Chains A and B, each alone.
Chain A
Amino acid sequence: MNTRKPADQLMRAVLWLFAILTVAPFALLVLTSLKSREDLLAGAFVLPARPHFENYVSAWVDGLFGTYFLNSVIVVVPVIVLSVVLGTLCGFAFAFLKLPGKPLLFGMLLVGMMVPTEAFIIPLYYEFRWLGLINTYWALILPQVGMSIPFVTLFMTSAMRQLPKDLVDAAVADGASPFRVLRYVIVPLLGPAASTMTLFLFIWTWNEFMIPLILVQDDARRTLPIGMLFFQGKYTIDIPILTAGAVITLLPIIIVYFFFQRKFIQGLTAGAVK
């Protein structure tokens, strides 16, 4: 198509303008995180006399964003590992093995995919109270693994079904046990699917709000989004440090996003359409 037409050029300009407006809040965030409180009074778009990196130190140390960051990592890693491992095993069984009551089990998982967390957060809270696990990492990890399992299972099932059938059949003909087939034939081919899954799980778990809000009240166990929420209540007026905290919260996501954006967008959109 011809991009030289003036109308098309105008369209391009408009598209870029809106794109820049879309990301403008993030740019403003970074800019503000480098200001002093005095700089702030000069206006939102005025550059500071010098960058105040000490805001990041304040946020990290005094604002406890260091603790929150560590907590987020401590929660995200096991959630990803457990979900992918359990979901892959489960997906393998759904894709290739005979199971008693398979449709029923499948339907059970579908329920969890459609019902939102909000619908069962009250019993979940009391369950963890009963287990004595409120304010522990377990309270953050276990429910999020449970919530991820239906999605990972279905995703892995469909990924495995798309593998070349001959490969699996050949392995079976050689007399390999199901586990060996999974371990040595299928898993090596699941790299792309597993990495897409890892990206999704990373982002969902990093961003999770309801679970840590309700199941953890101890500051020492809060993850970044919740820490940010209460930091805001405590220091509403300290915008530079608040924005520095926001940058700390968003930066890992932004980095991952820039590196894997194609995979991200394709995965999310394809996953949605499936």
Chain B
Amino acid sequence: MLHTNRFGNLKYVLPALLVYTAFVLLPIIASIVLGFTEWGGIGMPKFVGLANYAALLSDPMFFKALRNTAVLMIFYVALPLCIGLALAAAISHIRPGERMALRMLYFMPYVMPSAVLGIIWRWLYNPIFGPLNQVLRAAGLGALALPWLGDFNFALPAVGMVATWYYVGFCMAIFMAGLQRIDASLFEAASLEGASGQQTFRYVTLPSLLPEIRIVLLLTIIASIKSYDLIFTMTRGGPANETLVSNLYMYQLGFELNRYGYASAVAVIGAIFILVVNGIVHRFLPTDGDSA
């Protein structure tokens, strides 16, 4: 260790911690405090104890938001994970140069601002002017040319598909990196033993990829709980709250209806969910010696 003046060393961390504390940590604490109050944005917040949290338990809109998030997890978590895994496995049979080119294309949506992608997809989904329904009609599938984002049954999946599109390449890239990490001798042994492709995947690939699966689960579940940008730009929660999620609800309660205390309680619950997911994924998918 360099230098033994512990307090003198604080000068290296103070500038960063100061900015961080002022604009992240203090607001987080304030949010927790605000969650115990009723506040309309002016005057002093009124302390109400756990009343906001009690009200949340009987708020049908909040449960609707949770239900929607649960459905969205199919599209944010399950589909990207499965498709990403399949793509990574399939792509490993291809020459490296071509493999990299494919990976670049699949990964592309992930670097884009999701808010802008939402706006673009709103246009793609437009039932009259949008390209999607034009393609469907041209292909003789006019019956499938739905009003997508305005349809009670399809709005949520339509938003979800955009999330799937967004995360597939990311998941695939993580799994590709994972596959390279696996000892090639394992695959050779499997093929010597006469294992089929499926068997190899089931008994060699999958178990070896557990650390990657864990990280993909963690990131996509958190992304699904945080989902906001896409929905704000595509549907604003409509039609009739069919695509409402908790962060959007927090926004409406706070910045539209001036119920900042209640909105903070919603925000705090969202953050707690994320921390819990973190804990669960770490606990139930342990890996050997990995520090994540």
Contact = CB atoms under 8 A, between A and B. Distances in A.
A and B touch in the complex (CB under 8 A): yes
Interface of A: 1, 3, 8, 11-12, 14-16, 18-20, 22-23, 25-26, 28-29, 40, 43-45, 82, 86-87, 89-90, 92-94, 96-100, 105, 108-109, 111-112, 114-116, 118-127, 142-143, 145-147, 149-150, 153, 168, 172, 177-178, 181, 203, 206-210, 213-214, 224-226, 228-229, 232, 239, 242-243, 246, 249-250, 253-254, 257-258, 261-262, 264-266, 268-270, 272-274
A253 B111 contact: yes
Contact of B111 (A25, A118, A119, A203): A203
A158 to B, nearest CB: 9
B119 to A, nearest CB: 5
A194 B263 CA distance: 38
Given A119-B31, A178-B3, A253-B111, A16 B102 contact: yes
A123 B34 contact: yes
Nearest to A139: B23
Contacts of A239: 123, 129
A99 B13 contact: yes
B173 interface: yes
Contacts of A246: 116, 119-120
Q: A interface, by DSSP: helix, strand, loop or mixed?
A: helix
Interface in B25-53: 25-28, 30-31, 34, 41
A14 B86 CA distance: 12
B210 to A, nearest CB: 12
Determine chain B's interface SS by DSSP, over half rule: helix
Contacts of B255: 125, 214
Interface stretch (B61-69, B148-156, B269-277): B269-277
Contacts of A109: 20
Contacts of B108: 22-23, 26, 254, 257
Interface of B: 1-4, 6-7, 9-10, 12-13, 15-17, 19-28, 30-31, 34, 41, 87, 90-91, 93-95, 98, 100, 102-116, 119-124, 129-131, 134-135, 165, 168-170, 173-174, 176-178, 211-212, 215, 219, 222, 225-226, 228-229, 232-233, 247, 250, 254-255, 260, 263-264, 267-268, 270-271, 274-275, 278, 291-292
A184 B100 CA distance: 36
A26 B131 CA distance: 13
Nearest to B6: A98
Contacts of B173: 265, 268-269
A99 B9 contact: yes
A209 to B, nearest CB: 4
B271 A119 contact: yes
Contacts of B100: 262
